[in-house]
A = this chain, B = another copy of it.
Amino acid sequence: MYQGGYTGKILRINLGSQTAKVEETPEPMANDFIGGAGFGIKLLFDEVKANTDPLGPDNKLIFASGPLSGTNVPCTSRMSVTSRSPLTGAVGMALSGGYFPVELKWAGYDAMIIEGKSEEPVYVSIKDGDVKFRSAKKLWGMKTTDTQQIIKNDLHDQNVRVACIGPAGENKIKIASIINEWRAVGRKGLGAVMGSKNLKAIAIRGTGKVAVADKEKLKAARKVFTEAMKESEVLYPVFANTGTPMVVDATSAIGIFPTRNYMTTGEYNAAETLGVEVQMTRNVGSEPCYGCPVGCSQLKLAKTGAYEGILTEGPEFETMYSYGGVTGVDNIDAVIAADRLADELGLDTISSGVSIAFAMELYEKGILTKEDTGGIELNFGNDQAMITILKQMAYRQGIGGLLADGTKAAAEKIGKGSEKYAMHVKGLELPAYDVRGAKAHGLNYATSYTGADHCRGYAFQEIFGIPVPYEVDRFSAEGKGKLTKWNQDIRTATTDAPGMCAFLFDMAVVGIAAQNTASLLEAVTGLTFTPDDILVAGERINNLARAFNVREGFTRADDTLPERILTEPLKGGASKGNYISRDELDLMLDEYYTARGWDVATGAPSREKLAELGIEYVADQLN
């Protein structure tokens, strides 16, 4: 019996039969996979068979908060959404915050599995045990802000929280996001999975509480945690005021903020036009997630030209990169406008921006012509063109239609050697951070189970110079295998699974993360978790996710980086001259697979490793 943290219930929603049932959360799953992304990946591996069409009725979409979500532990309103990604074919797992994650817990569920496909557009409304299927025929085509408001009105309840898709998800754009309020489940095309199921939205409200096993113990653990937060030199003093866009300055300073589709020459200093000083002139307040005393989420209001009066949350650092640096757009107000537009349409800001930057380079190289673009002058820096194409993407129109499923699909259609300018791994567009100047970060992009993903094994050692667990040289390939394994496992186990904001990890508890997570989990759940258990759970989840990908046919050959990263030295800035050679990548992969106990030739988890992690059954499905 669960004592706290877990509700012990999983809600299974079948859209085909329009039925809902409640199942028990298996107790071993709590111990072994913690929750959140751990649950998502466990359920995905077990329930979604190999070669399932990501946009077919047999794919599933698993929402899961963590055991800490919904308690009074700060910064724990987080959830994972897991599916087979239509963009990559690999595990599609993305995280989001806001209020939806705690409502899911308060409604009584550790996780929610959505399966099947509705014949007609629907939305699901959940209030505690009451699950209803409601027609979304009239909502089909609406943008995300309107959708959320109309659903609140429809339910006569302004207090529900709504996760929904926009036109992009409806049109099964493979870079479509899921939006709830100012938050996005942004990457890997999970919005398209919702669209493929004719599921416009999920509205949820919970009136329950999450039990805590040992309140005194939690008080103590919480104190250690909040004291660590207070001691951080970054969290409250800087991050609370500026949010993630401060990273524009930090990465520009070390020469790894990519500009112009990674042709980065160093002549264009993004920090001057998009950095914190400029951003703060647009700042109009903060919209924290539930229970967050920091409030990194910053609202910005565009001030000039055609963009005047457009409000957005963020744009987060990644979006400053995707609609700013990488497209060569240096107009902060255009970035604000594009960000809001993408959220309204339900498009991933990273993948959409990088796809447009890709097209810009092809246009400048003459591989795409004005005929291809429908008359748009698609040069770097053309903010109006960017915004026009963003809109086209959501509706598969014009040149936007060509780019709508990301750079990999676009390059396949375009041919003419364009693939070498396509900045993706496994089909997922590169987030910010030019990994030619941060090689462990590059190895993470190459090996992360979701494709090029900064959220899986963020190499803060290289980017911020934080010497945990040890100091590293960001330009060196050596020693990065073991580091990347550690980065991936600890991040998974201390943030993605328990339902904890990753920024807390980076900025407050990086040195004590495993201990902190173990203490909080023990206090909240009443189960036993040592710091080592935490790291092993992280490793288990990463192995299972890798196994899912192997089962889908992914091999070492897929653990690679875009050709530009592997062949073109950075032309300017503080990382000038660096790149990751193929030899370096191979060295890092060898080290990484070895550290992981995986087959160095194939990149597949060994039976021994899987057995050691208590999931030997998985090995039977890999051959």
With a cutoff of 8 Å between Cβ atoms, the chain B residues found around residue A309 in the complex are: 141-143, 166-167, 345, 394-395
What are some 9 contacts across the A-B interface (CB < 8 A)?
A138-B284, A141-B301, A141-B303, A141-B309, A143-B310, A146-B311, A152-B158, A158-B159, A159-B159
The answer, yes or no, to whether A287 is at the interface (CB within 8 Å) is yes
The answer, yes or no, to whether A299 is at the interface (CB within 8 Å) is yes
The answer, yes or no, to whether A347 is at the interface (CB within 8 Å) is no
With a cutoff of 8 Å between Cβ atoms, the chain B residues found around residue A153 in the complex are: 287
Cβ distance A190 to chain B, nearest Cβ, rounded Å:
20
The answer, yes or no, to whether A574 is at the interface (CB within 8 Å) is no
The answer, yes or no, to whether A308 is at the interface (CB within 8 Å) is yes
- Assembly CA distance A150 to B301 (angstroms): 12
A150–B308 contact, CB under 8 A?
A: no
Among A497-546, those with CB < 8 Å from B are none
Taken residue by residue from 277 to 318, chain A's Cβ proximity to chain B (1 for < 8 Å, 0 otherwise) reads as: 000000011010000000000010101001011110000000
- Assembly CA distance A311 to B167 (angstroms): 12
Report how many residues on chain A are interfacial, defined by Cβ distance under 8 Å.
31
The answer, yes or no, to whether A72 is at the interface (CB within 8 Å) is no
- Assembly CA distance A457 to B530 (angstroms): 78
A150–B345 contact, CB under 8 A?
A: no
> Known interface pairs A141-B301, A159-B159, A287-B153. Does A308 touch B146 (Cβ–Cβ under 8 Å)?
no
- Assembly CA distance A154 to B299 (angstroms): 12
- Assembly CA distance A153 to B154 (angstroms): 20
> Known interface pairs A141-B308, A309-B167. Does A150 touch B303 (Cβ–Cβ under 8 Å)?
no
> Known interface pairs A159-B158, A395-B308. Does A138 touch B345 (Cβ–Cβ under 8 Å)?
no
Which B residue sits closest to A288, measured CB to CB? B153
- Assembly CA distance A152 to B126 (angstroms): 22
Taken residue by residue from 301 to 341, chain A's Cβ proximity to chain B (1 for < 8 Å, 0 otherwise) reads as: 10100101111000000000000000000000000000000
Taken residue by residue from 145 to 157, chain A's Cβ proximity to chain B (1 for < 8 Å, 0 otherwise) reads as: 1100110111000
The answer, yes or no, to whether A139 is at the interface (CB within 8 Å) is yes
- Assembly CA distance A142 to B336 (angstroms): 13
Residues of A near any B CB (own CB < 8 A): 138-139, 141-143, 145-146, 149-150, 152-154, 158-159, 166-167, 284-285, 287, 299, 301, 303, 306, 308-311, 345, 391, 394-395
Cβ distance A164 to chain B, nearest Cβ, rounded Å:
13
9 nearest A-B pairs in the assembled complex, by CB-CB distance: A158-B158, A138-B284, A146-B311, A138-B285, A158-B159, A167-B309, A141-B301, A143-B309, A142-B311
Q: A138-B285, A141-B303 are in contact. List 9 more A-B contacts (CB 8 A).
A: A138-B284, A141-B284, A141-B309, A146-B311, A150-B285, A150-B311, A154-B285, A306-B391, A308-B395
- Assembly CA distance A138 to B301 (angstroms): 9
With a cutoff of 8 Å between Cβ atoms, the chain B residues found around residue A301 in the complex are: 141-142
With a cutoff of 8 Å between Cβ atoms, the chain B residues found around residue A306 in the complex are: 391
Report which residue of A145, A146, A150 has the largest number of chain B beta carbons within 10 angstroms of its beta carbon. A146
Which B residue sits closest to A284, measured CB to CB? B138
- Assembly CA distance A154 to B394 (angstroms): 32
Cβ distance A390 to chain B, nearest Cβ, rounded Å:
12
- Assembly CA distance A303 to B158 (angstroms): 27
A311–B143 contact, CB under 8 A?
A: yes
With a cutoff of 8 Å between Cβ atoms, the chain B residues found around residue A395 in the complex are: 308-309
- Assembly CA distance A152 to B308 (angstroms): 23
Cβ distance A311 to chain B, nearest Cβ, rounded Å:
5
- Assembly CA distance A34 to B322 (angstroms): 60
Cβ distance A618 to chain B, nearest Cβ, rounded Å:
43
- Assembly CA distance A145 to B149 (angstroms): 10
- Assembly CA distance A152 to B161 (angstroms): 14
Which B residue sits closest to A137, measured CB to CB? B284
- Assembly CA distance A413 to B137 (angstroms): 49
- Assembly CA distance A145 to B143 (angstroms): 13
With a cutoff of 8 Å between Cβ atoms, the chain B residues found around residue A138 in the complex are: 284-285, 299
Cβ distance A306 to chain B, nearest Cβ, rounded Å:
8
Cβ distance A361 to chain B, nearest Cβ, rounded Å:
27
Cβ distance A176 to chain B, nearest Cβ, rounded Å:
14
